[in-house]
Structure 1
Amino acid sequence: MRNLDITTLRSFVAVADAGGVTRAAGFLNLTQSAVSMQLKRLEDMLGLALLDRSGRGVSLTPAGEQLLKYARRMVDLNDEIYSRLTMTDWEGEIVLGVPHDIVYPVIPRIMKKMQRDFPRVRLQLLSSYTSELKDLFARGAVDVILTTEAEPGEGGEGLLDVPLRWYGAPNGTAWKTRPLRIAFSRRCGFRPVAIALMEREQFDWELSVDSESDRTIEVSVSADLAVTPVLEGHAPAHFELVPNGVLPELGMQKICLYAASARPRIVEPLVEMLRNEFCSLRGRSDLAAQ
């Protein structure tokens, strides 16, 4: 039996992801010739052509496609073993506060990556409303928070602009009624935004459901008793977007990031992951589906 080299497999994965040797070399901090030599060594060892170099770019041959899934698993397992046994300086606990309506799709991916890359770090998730999270952050009770606001406050960083939209029940008719029946949670930050807009537009509406419980709001809306404002793409599966133009536009909200200035080193990777993940969602309309 012959042993595959992890460094060579890492270069192969990088070339497949980058679509070319030059870009992959930059990601790996190697020269282009070094990466090319590693790929040639891998092909010679296996006796297979892994890359199709006939076009302008680089694409995988059928053998390369087959190898790629194994190479990813081997590189990931190598990195996980190394992290668990050697990264003793990355230890501790991080408390991350996130509004419940933007937990998906990003936060599960973040928690999985943190567990994989920093297994000695315990990431504790706290889900609450923006106002409460900002209070906890100000008192130092949480290390990092995400918020939904019209604009970030002092020390905040805007990550993503998301439309605030009206949602109702699938195939529902509550959005057609006048006065418009609206369901609001008492602590929801979108409540004053929507109320101010309806008053300014002199739109005929009434408070149909007023509750401390988000579950009550969800049940009421899904039962077609009312509509409610939700960030586009972040609504529960049993909600449906109200058709455009029939109700007043609610404008945009920002998903913002706050991280303590005097934070421990272990927070830095989390902050960078959050930036990258939300940056990848820009321009996407299927946020909650991923």
Structure 2
Amino acid sequence: MRNDLDISLLRAFTAIVDAGGVTRAAAALGVSQAAASQQVKRLEESLDCRLFERAGRRLVLAPAGERLLAQARRLLALNDEVWSSMRTPSFEGEVRFGVPYDIIASFVPAILRRFAKAQPLVRVSLVCEDSRIVREQLTAGQVDLALTTERECGRHGETLRTDRLVWVGVPGGDAHLKDPLPVSLGASTCVFRPVAVEALGKARRDWRAVCEVSRMEPVYAAIEAGLAVAPLLRSSVPERFDILGRDARLPALPEFRINLYAPPGLGPAARDLADHVRASFAERNRRPHNN
């Protein structure tokens, strides 16, 4: 007897987990609430176990559901990868992809890995600069598409994620207590720099620059040595650092947008890379707590 899992049932299961309930999951899947509930019921019957339990008015994972979740995500990812590789036409050539320093390590490796599997004949040239410079290079035709971190979104751009700028320090460090405050800032073209400086000025917090480059290695080195704090996007903070809370007496910082610019007239390979960027962010945004 063959025991084959129905991918659509697994997709409904993970959608309910990610959405925190059947109603929002059904909307995301484009089905009725009754259909989503029925899909989970069929999955439970197939596996002969209970996947969810009621906690008041909320649905929470049962022990069997907790065991299934990671495996279901792997199966769905593999299914989507196979589907994409078989359905996507093969392209050749080069795509010049502009990305700012502050988000390249957090988001780009996963995008490039998946794109390389889907389009092994396309060469991606990665151009790393501050967002302002990346936008200028896009306008000048020096890059084909670009990711940026900005307060707003410009022409031909689309916002893929909204994230808050936060103060970051080393665990157990005391740099945030020093006066003047030692800060690792980007270069003059860094979009975070004027925002952080303005916030410190409004809070009447005296500060001094420890590092003024946009490449992340020296910024991280200053933080790790306990010599400075730095403003970083929450989702780009390495695990070895702490996000400093209100008790650090540092001013609140605003939200930024991660934007994708894919202007009209792109070649097929660049359009396909843009689609991979969108899919990667959409998948990440569905994860619990937006990690």
TM-score normalised according to structure 1 size: 0.70
What residue ranges of structure 2 are gaps of 5+ in the alignment?
15-25, 36-44, 53-63
1:71-129 Cα deviation digits (max 9, x unpaired): 8799689668857xx944x2222122111221244322211221222233223322221
> Is 1:15 aligned to residue 9 of structure 2?
yes
- Matched to 2:180, the amino acid is P
- The residue that corresponds to 1:232 in the other structure is 234
Matches within 5 A, 1:17-56: 17-19=11-13, 52=48
Equivalent positions of 1:153-232 (< 5 A) are 153-186=154-187, 187-211=189-213, 213-232=215-234
Question: In the alignment, residue 193 of structure 2 is paired with which amino acid?
Answer: R
SS at the partner of 1:196?
helix
Aligned length: 250
Q: Which residue of 2 aligns with 1:274?
A: 277
SS of match in other structure, 1:113: helix
Shift of 1:194: 0.9
Q: TM-score, normalised by structure 2?
A: 0.70
Larger CA deviation: 276-285 vs 158-167: 276-285
> Residue by residue, what CA displacement relative to the aligned partner does 1:55-80 show, whole Å, maximum 9, x if unpaired?
99xxxx9xxx8x98998799689668
Distance in 2, Cα, partners of 1:213 & 1:106:
16
Q: Deviation string for 1:238-257 (max 9, x for gaps)?
A: 32211225210111111111
Retained in 1: the 8 A contact 2:160–2:259?
yes
What amino acid does structure 2 have at the position aligned with 1:178? D
Q: Which residue of 1 aligns with 2:61?
A: none
Instruction: List per-residue Cα deviations over 1:144-184 (Å, max 9, x = no partner).
Output: 11101111122221111111011112210010112211121
**Pairs within 5 Å for 1:57-136:** 82=86, 87-88=89-90, 90-136=91-137
Contact 1:197 1:250 in 2 (8 A): yes
How much identity, in percent, do the aligned residues show?
27
Q: Which has the larger radius of gyration?
A: 1
Give the AA of the match of 1:95.
R
Offset, 1:191 = 0.7
**Residue identity matched to 2:116:** Q
Whole-Å Cα distance in 1 between the matches of residues 183 and 83 of structure 2? 50
Matches of 1:145 and 1:113, distance apart in 2 = 17
User: For 1:284 and 1:232, how far apart are their aligned partners in 2?
Assistant: 15
Secondary structure of the corresponding residue to residue 266 of structure 1: helix
SS class of match (2:198): helix
